[in-house]
Structure 1
Amino acid sequence: MKETVLSQSLRRLFAGGACAGLAMLALPAQAQQEQAAAPIQRVEITGSSIKRIAAEGALPVTVMTAAAIRESGVTSAADLVKKLSTVQGSTGESASVGGSSFGFSGISIHNVGETRTLVLLNGKRLAQFGGQTLTGFAAGFDLNSIPLSAIDRVELLTDGASALYGADAIAGVVNFITKHDRTDGDVTIGYSHPQNGAYEKRLSATKGFGSLDTDGYNVMLTFGHDERTKLGSVDRSFANTGKVDFSANGKRYRKQQFSASPIPANALDDQGQLISPYQKTTGACPAKTFRVIEPYNDGSGLADDYCGYDFVRDLEIFPERKRDNFMASATAKYAGQELFADIMLSKSTQVSRIAPVPGSISIAAGSPLAVKYLQPIGITGDSLAFYRLFDMGPRTSNDEAQFASLVLGSRGVIAGWDYSASYNFSESKVKGNISGYPGALAVKALTSGGLLDPFVGPGQQSAAAQAAIKAATYSGYWDGGISKLHSLTANGSHELMRMEGGGLMLGVGANINRESFASRPSLFAQGKLADPAAGVLCGGALECDQRFGDPASSLPYDASRTSQGLFAELVIPVYKTLELGTALRYDHYSDFGSATTAKASFKWTPKPTLMIRGSIGNGFHAPTVPQVNAIQQGYGVTSEKYTCTPALQAVADAHNALCQPGNRQYDELAGGNAELKPEKSRQATLGFRFEPVSYITLGADLWHVQIRDTFGQLTEQVVFADPARYAKSWGSLVDIGTGKNYLAFLADNQNLGKSYATGIDYEITGRYRSPIGLLTSQLNMTRMLREVSQLQRDGAYYSAIGNFAELGAVTFRNQGHWSNTLKTGKWTNTLAINFKSGYRDQETTVDVLDAAGNVTGQEDIRKEVGFYSTIDWQAVWAPNKTWSATIGVLNLTNKAPPFVPSTSGANRGQQFGYDDRYYDARGRTAYFNASYKF
């Protein structure tokens, strides 16, 4: 085999540690001045079953070495993906604060979707997250399970629908490849220090035993542990309150994010308006609240005037977290073949806290509470008190995610065939524990019995009431799930004949997968307990209770599916300068029938310094097991608050339900849909790699993905804007505490229509041998050209590029990473810039202020969020081959996230003042790592 100048440069570049968006290692200044090239070995590259020379494929594969990852400053696989220009739309840990993500961290290539991005470990599929929801959220692999210290390299295939791994990899494939056949050892300790919280300490150790070549066996052991403290919203000036004044469009505005359930409680007056008895009698709002005046938009002239609770001050931006990972890989030679076994175990736990639980309490006319607090201010009828049970303490989620994987297999060469055959079992088990929640009937009993007084402040309840509140607190298991995958796979490749350009290569393979999911809500979550705190079952005269302020009706279910796949792949070297590729895959699902998908590709090298490549193919993606089989149930509340307009009232009447009083959040319902159709896609890429001179490498890949019958849910903003048009998106839910049946938003799974996405991934690398050392500069950027989606079949198309609106998320037009590394002597210094373009925020209603700060009216605005960038610096000192020390600073200038007044969005946490999905709130973070190799 003979390498071209370009492929040789690319192979050396990959071996040296360069990667898309994460190039940190020095590269040769001039290829022609190098010594003789290292021996060329055929290796299996992600996206193909055929072993061949790395860097010579027709598909866009990005390689990130362990050295490049280590020198980037990232400390986990979840942090790693944030550095990649090709990754957008991934879920981060902050979504777990006030949400139900159980700490899930995923990856989405090109914002095509986490569920459409396939994550592999050593080329093997992994079980989906056990905490995935029935809407498809978190139906991917949790990156917290990956032991970064065990990783030898990561390969990112940005072309979708792999014949080798499955037609469901519509967005692409991320393959984490672990270390093997090594005898060295490594112990690394590290510490990260942001300001006022989120401190992290870590320890990892890796050791190999035995050499395959000399001993006939090898065992690799890896262990990693890390801990992080919490970071509270009050520790960041841009996120420490729900009341923010700001300027835009030449005006002064105010945005208030709050809850209508404070302490002391708000109440409804006889006209149905929400008022604060405390404010009416004292003339001021209580602590931790601010005054809210909200005119109705129904033409009645009425307005709510109450005290809103500033729950933002109680949030945690980053929860406490602990992670442990262990991996053991064993390989042995037997009868000329390699027998291998891989075991991976991981456990992640995190604790997050939000404001004490809010809810509503019925206050009957003439009751002691009504006589004492409501009648003196003119409320004579029945009322509702909107109260926060502050004395019960914060709502706390203690989530645990365990992952286990076992792979047994054999690989080698038999009769001229490179083959690999394996059995893989993996399991993701998630357990969510809660505290700080009572039952709604328990709170009702406390109030009707005269113990609980919702109109007094924190700590002012009687001793008997305090004891009763404590006794009513539920603490224990709440919800979780188990996801399992059994897989048998076999594939091989063989040279069929010699052609002018080389060997005609054939790859074939087959797989059988058995995946299952079990939803395991607690009896409390199912609504089957009469006394949740004591664990007493309901039935007969004992009424079933549900969670106060957040009713639950989760139901357990088990579901599974089996799938089989066959594929064949050809690499055809027509000439030395032209290579063609083709692949065909057949899949059969036990619940969705059969699908045949194909891919064709080419690689043309008209000159040694230029390569042009491209591909075209189609894909098939079945819905997840929960998306099809889950039983309809309560699914939290809407992210926004809504006023009962006449149109909304008409829908409520049709469901024999009530609108929420005033401006309130509405309950949500969700469930599986057995009528869902699979998603079908088409993908294409066209790119080049060009080395005009030995010290500059240029590259770009144009990519396109189109999907029909996309999975999703209508966004609440779209449905509430036109309630009558979406008549099937409504239901009702009874508030156990008050017995009232309220209108609820139904976020059911649907095939929404079509989506199209097109963009370009750029790479520019320069190398210069200066008098003081080797300087390497690399720019990686993704530019989105087009992204449009339908929210219903045959409906209008909407775009999220630079636009946070109908789709509930943002796709950044430009996103990238520019790194500059100077290697001189024993030191390596890197300065990197991370950047993303701006966007228009979601339309938000804000108060208009005059020069004195008085509210003069309200206005709907769409704030322009500007270009955002941060600078990272790192220095590595390696005095010898044994020791190395790294110091660095992330976000060197301590740049705060941009302010946004919007509050909703898909997979967004409860944070306010910035969008936690796109910006890191830790600010300037100093870190230190020290490694000892032996």
Structure 2
Amino acid sequence: MFKEKVLAQSLRLMFSSGVALGLGVAAQQALAQEQQEQPVMQRVEVTGSSIKRIAAEGALPVTVMTAEAIRASGVTSMADLVQRMSTVQGSTGESASVGGSTFGFAGISIHNVGETRTLVLLNGKRLAQFGGQTLTGFAAGFDLNSIPLSAIERVELLTDGASALYGADAIAGVVNFITKHDRTDADITVGYSKPQDGARERRVSLTKGFGSLDEDGYNVMLTLGYDERTKLSSGDRTFADTGQRTFSQNGKQYRIQQYSPSPIPANALDDRGQLISPALRTSGSCPTKTFRVTQPYSFGGENFVDDYCGYDFVKDLEIFPERKRSNMMVSGVTKAFGQELYADVLISESRQSSRIAPVPGQIGIDAGSALHTRYLAPIGITGDSVAFYRLFDMGQRTSNDVAGFASAVFGSRGNVAGWDYDTSYNFSKSKVKGYIAGYPGALAVSNLTSSGLLDPFVGPGQQSAAAQEAIRAATYSGYWDGGVSELNSLTLNGSRELMQLSGGAMMLGMGVNFNREEYASKPSLFAQGALADPAAGTPCGGTTGLECDQRFGDAASALPYEAKRTSKGVFAELVIPVVKNLELGAAARYDNYSDFGSAVTGKASFKWSPTTSFLVRGSVGNGFHAPTVPQVNAALQSYGVTSENYTCTPGLQAVATANNAICRPGNGQYDQLAGGNPNLKPEKSRQATLGFRYEPFRALSLGLDLWTVSIRDTFGQLNEQVVFADPQRYASSWGSQVDIATGRNYLAFKADNQNLGKSYSTGIDYDITGRYRTPYGQLTSQLNISQMLRETSQLEENGEYYSALGNFAELGGVTFRNRGTWRNTLKTGNFANTLTVNFKSGYRDQETLVDVLDAGGNVTGQEDVRYKVGSFATVDWQTVWTPGAMWSITAGVLNLTDKEPPFVPSTSGAGRGQQFGYDDRYYDARGRTAYVNASYKF
């Protein structure tokens, strides 16, 4: 089963003594004999509690996914597994790296409460945050690519806040990856996945255990894994192969164009500041890979029309990146002095390559220059101009990202003086390096133009041989940016029985921890704008007297910084079985941060089981989440561009003038600035859950958990659409950036870190499992649904509340009202066949300006449209054949009907790539995917 609730066994264990009281003597003796024949149940520590106890349904909603359940889902990575879990929303996927600076990060967010508020553990131990996190807090979580799927024994998912037990960032919940331990067998698995045309995967893993802890006094587990995936290009998917699409809604036909104003040959500004296409003016048509864009607008009482050729950059995208991953994990344990000494070492590396359209940028064209005389003067441009150009002959822009992760845990556990204890030292480090190719310096391109070598008004491949050689010489290929995140932790946890109550033993858990967190941003000299010749590595400024260059098309000048934080914590937990069928729990924690003072968090819970088949549980608690060290300490610096294009309204012109800057010409993206905020306050939360488990008979089990989370002083940035809609109201949200290539000082949007206000989220998680023996074998059917009831947030302190629930608008993303899976497995002899339905509800897309078409396909005007994206469902099939104890062969098809993602006209949103025609955050472009895995145990 994909989501395994072991209720039947748990309730039997919990209430076997109570059942025995109602039996006759013979029945009691038979039950006692059965219990004696079973292995002794060991006390274990379950996610959500620090107390070791017999595994059972507890007061908190914990979902357990075994290795077998994960294999049955057909996924090949932790990142893919997360995307299929009904309780997970708002997670960053690998496709976000297409045009985005994510370094291939893949995270997890429970209930869309946030990746930074979802704590990821490995064998109960904290892990370093991603080394490629940004100064706004994006990717300040754990990268799931670092977890080897082949090493996992089970995954425990706690969908309730656990700040009182684990620390500051467990507001949304906890994901605990438990690796294989104390096994002596060996397993080798090979696999292959084949979507149509691209994104094909090959994988191999080996797991081997040495020694038995009980018999030999030691055990060592070794896991090795490697997998690779090929690229998937936009041209291989009809729903993603162009930036010009038509669609219909409410009986009308519309057209939307996603493009760049920088094509090849170049566009240019005329004397009125309108963007035109010299190629279109002279030939009457737009060149290859472009389409005509006509945009009327008014400014200062005058009417203007931009009439140019927009570049269809969507055609050049690789919508699913190429990837190679390797990992090794070694776990060892030995007995000494009656205790267990253990060590877990994980080393992993993920290499990802993504490619997008050749680099665009702007080039100044002086009046009277050779280029001006040849191309611009004949079409009536008399003054200085700017060419909007794409350096096509330099090839696609390529990002090669390397994310390395290492973790080492050394500890001791056992029982001393009646205490079950676990003490350990944990070191983990995430090191990320981003390499680029296909980028020149802006000054280098300007020099090529002024020298007469580069002609921005000719087509691809039409530059002279000397110009082609100069373009190659100006190309930068090498390290661009990265970072290092490191965590050192010392922990000591213990639990014991305090006294016997009428309901059982009263248990106490206690623990202390010390954490040291460090982060260093490591941009290259090129990214810092500290080179005169990036391709040659020539330094600038200082005694050299040389002007500093920046990346063509960017106002990029990142600043290196380092920051660190220490924290100390102590917690205590009580489990109080008041009477036989009622258990109360309480936990409290005190944390002290070197930069944010102290905080006290707590949790209270209960579990009531009036009968052996029915259980009610609930909890209430609070949380405290300090911002990341970059969110507080990073200097104000360049931070990419806005997600949408904007025209210069009178309000925008006013703030540009106030900042001694000018608007971007036409309809284009604006530079962004971002930085740390030393006045940022920590987030504080309140969480609660209430649920039940019911098993009326052995073949049926039901469960429901209602949850709610409220957070105040949420971290974030002012929404760009809101700020651009009323720019003068947000006067502090603006700055300026000088374009090196043209010398123009353009207005820039400041997306700095702020406390935005409050957010509220409420939902219900359901699961129903039925088991039925048919003439063809055992049939198990399981339905899991996560339903959101409320989701609302403020975009500024004391401001209006907005909701993303079924609504992609002001918050920059969607919260699906319903997500779920329905899995049906029929086991017949040595075959197991599984049919799975994955579904999510629809939503209203962001308001988007589109062209209105008549019956002949002609544009008759423009209209703001909110497209209705329908519900979406896919079907998976899997067959597992186990011919013997050693062999297992799994074959299946994901997205059996090859259903395409729904059309989505909007283009903005946090964590979104450059893909167009669908939203890559929520829908998989790979389509029908056949796969096979073969395992051999020896």
TM-score range, shorter chain: over 0.9
Segments of structure 1 that go 5 or more residues without pairing to the other structure are 15-30
Pick the aligned partner of 2:894 from 890, 893, 900: 890
- Given the alignment of the two structures, is residue 341 of structure 1 paired with residue 371 of structure 2, yes or no? no
**2-structure distance, mates of 1:431, 1:75:** 25
Give, in angstroms, the shift of residue 166 of structure 1: 1.1
| Paired amino acid for 2:432 | V
Q: Which amino acid counterpart does residue 155 of structure 1 have in structure 2?
A: E
Give the Cα separation in 2 of the matches to 1:12 and 1:308. Answer: 67
Counterpart contact for 1:6–1:609, Cα < 8 Å: no
Partners of 2:10 and 2:749 in 1: how far apart? 53
Cα contact 1:6–1:608 (8 A) shared by 2: no
What residue number does 2:839 align with?
835
- Conserved? CA contact 1:877–1:886, under 8 Å: yes
| Amino acid of the structure 2 residue aligned with 1:502 | G
- 1:253 is the counterpart of 2:254: yes
**Any idea what SS the aligned residue of 2:644 has?**
coil
**SS of equivalent residue, structure 1 residue 70:** helix
Once the 2 structures are TM-superposed, how far is the Cα of residue 82 of structure 1 from its aligned partner? Answer: 1.1
For 1:163 and 1:422, locate their aligned partners in 2 and report how far apart those are by CA, in whole Å: 20
State the distance in 2 between where 1:101 and 1:297 align.
38
In structure 2, how many angstroms separate the alpha carbons of the residues matched to 1:365 and 1:8? Answer: 83
CA contact (8 A) 2:8 2:695 kept: no
Instruction: Map 1:211-360 onto structure 2 (within 5 A).
Output: 211-298=212-299, 300-360=302-362
Which residue is 2:804 aligned to? Answer: 800
Q: Distance in 1 between matches of 2:298 and 2:383?
A: 25
Match in the other structure for 1:592: 596
Q: Does residue 432 of the first structure (1) align with residue 429 of the second (2)?
A: no
Please give the per-residue CA displacement for 1:220-269, whole angstroms capped at 9, x wherever unaligned: 00001000000000100000000001111210000000000000000011
For each residue in 1:592-623, what CA deviation from the matched residue of structure 2 results, as whole angstroms up to 9, or x when unmatched? Answer: 00000000000000111000000000000000
SS at structure 2 position matched to 1:485 = strand
Any idea what SS the aligned residue of 1:365 has? coil
Q: Deviations over 1:772-802 (max 9, x none)?
A: 1000000001000001000011000000000
Task: Judge conservation of contact 2:59–2:617 (CA < 8 Å) in 1.
Answer: yes
Instruction: Check 1:11–1:66 CA distance in 2 against 1; reply closer, same or farther (3 A cut).
Output: farther
1:506 and 2:508 aligned = yes
Report what 1:699 is aligned to: 703
Distance 2:165 2:381 in 1: 70
| Deviation sequence 1:487-535 (CA, Å, 0-9, x none) | 0000000000000000000000000000000000000000000000000
Normalising to structure 2: TM-score of the pair? 0.96
**Structure 1: distance between partners of 2:832 and 2:149:** 22
Among 538, 541, 545, the residue aligned to 2:540 = 538
Q: 1:14-63, CA deviations, whole angstroms, 9 ceiling, x for partnerless residues?
A: 9xxxxxxxxxxxxxxxx99x997654221100011101122231010000
User: Which of residues 615, 619, 626 in structure 1 aligns to 2:623?
Assistant: 619
Structure 2 Cα separation of the partners of residues 831 and 675 of structure 1: 53
Whole-angstrom CA distance in 1 between matches of 2:12 and 2:288: 63
8 Å CA contact 1:297, 1:643 repeated in 2: no
Aligned length, in residue pairs: 913
1:822 aligns with 2:826: yes
- Cα pair 1:6 1:690 within 8 Å, conserved: no
Query: Which residue in 2 is equivalent to 1:930?
Result: 934
Alignment correspondent of 1:19? none
Q: Distance in 1 between matches of 2:409 and 2:6?
A: 37
From 432, 455, 458, the equivalent of 1:456 is: 458
Aligned to 1:9: 9
1:410 is matched with which residue?
A: 412
Equivalent position SS for 1:267: strand
Q: How does 1:118-157 map to 2 (within 5 A)?
A: 118-157=119-158
Distance 1:209 1:465 in 2: 63
Q: Secondary structure at the match of 1:296?
A: strand
Q: Which amino acid aligns with 2:738?
A: V
Please list the CA deviations of residues 124-154 of structure 1 after superposition, one character each: whole Å capped at 9, or x if unmatched: 0000000000000000000000011000000
Structure 1 residue 297: Cα displacement: 4.5
CA contact (8 A) 2:239 2:903 kept: yes
C-alpha contact (below 8 Å) 1:765/1:776 kept by paired residues? yes
Superposed, 1:150-229 pairs within 5 Å as 150-229=151-230
- Give 2:727's match in structure 1, choosing from 723, 738, 756: 723
Q: What secondary structure does 2:723 align onto?
A: helix
Query: Corresponding residue for 1:845?
Result: 849
**Mapped contact 2:11–2:613 kept (Cα < 8 A):** no
- Tell me which residue corresponds to 1:20: none
CA contact (8 A) 1:510 1:564 kept: yes
Give the distance between the partners of 1:734 and 1:883, measured in 2 at CA. Answer: 64
CA distance, structure 2, for counterparts of residue 510 and residue 12 of structure 1:
34
Q: Deviations over 1:873-907 (max 9, x none)?
A: 00000011100101000000000000011000010
Whole-Å separation in 1 of the counterparts to 2:691 and 2:92: 29
C-alpha distance in 2, partners of 1:180/1:161?
26
Give the SS at the match of 2:706.
strand
Judge conservation of contact 2:165–2:588 (CA < 8 Å) in 1.
Answer: no
Q: Which structure 2 residues correspond to residues 662-701 of structure 1 after superposition, within 5 A?
A: 662-701=666-705
Cα RMSD (Å): 1.4
Identity %: 76
Q: Which amino acid aligns with 2:212?
A: S
Specify the code of the residue in structure 2 equivalent to 1:638. Answer: T
> Cα deviations across residues 857-880 of structure 1 (Å, max 9, x unaligned)?
000000000010000000000011
- 1:60/1:521 CA distance change after superposition, 3 Å: same
Take 2:12 and 2:92, find their aligned partners in 1: how far apart are those partners?
34
Over residues 368-414 of structure 1, what are the superposed CA-to-partner deviations in whole Å (9 max), with x where a residue is unaligned? 00100001111111100000000001100000000000000000011
Deviation at 1:13, TM superposition (A): 12
Report the 3-state secondary structure (helix = DSSP H, G, I; strand = E; otherwise coil) of the residue aligned with 1:739: coil
Matched with 1:784 is: 788
1:694 partner amino acid: R
Separation in 2 of the partners of 1:533 and 1:791? 42
Instruction: Tell me which moved more, 299-308 or 183-192.
Output: 299-308
Is 1:443 aligned to 2:431, yes or no? Answer: no
After alignment, is 79-88 or 299-308 more displaced? Answer: 299-308
C-alpha separation in 1, matches of 2:270 and 2:71: 61
Q: Deviations over 1:193-232 (max 9, x none)?
A: 0000000000000000000100000000000100000000
Kept in 2, the 8 Å contact 1:266–1:307? The answer is yes
Contact 2:168/2:626, CA 8 A, preserved across alignment: no
Measured after TM superposition, the shift of residue 715 of structure 1 is 1.3
Task: Tell me the distance in 1 between the aligned counterparts of 2:891 and 2:7.
Answer: 34
**Would the alpha carbon gap of residues 11 and 129 (structure 1) be closer, same or farther in structure 2, given more than 3 Å must change?**
farther
Q: What are structure 2's unaligned runs of at least 5 residues?
A: 15-30
Deviation at 1:162, TM superposition (A): 3.4
CA contact (8 A) 1:206 1:222 kept: yes
In the TM superposition, 1:479-518 aligns within 5 A as 479-518=481-520
The answer to whether the 8 A contact 2:638-2:673 is kept is yes
The SS at the match of 2:303 is coil
Check 1:781–1:76 CA distance in 2 against 1; reply closer, same or farther (3 A cut): same
Equivalent pair of 1:47/1:163 in contact (CA under 8 Å): no
CA distance in 1, matches of 2:89, 2:435: 30
- Structure 1 residue 770 and structure 2 residue 770: aligned? no
Q: CA deviation at 1:12?
A: 8.8
Aligned to 1:18: none
Distance (Å, rounded) in 2 between the aligned partners of 1:273 and 1:142: 45
Distance 1:259 1:836 in 2: 32
3-state SS in 1 of match to 2:589: strand
Does the 8 Å contact 1:97/1:319 carry over to 2? yes
Tell me the CA shift for residue 693 of structure 1.
Answer: 1.8
Q: State the SS of the aligned residue for 2:216.
A: coil
Give the alignment's TM-score, normalised by structure 1. 0.97
Contact 1:525/1:553 (CA < 8 Å) preserved in 2? yes
Tell me, in whole angstroms, the C-alpha distance in 2 between the residues paired with 1:391 and 1:569: 65
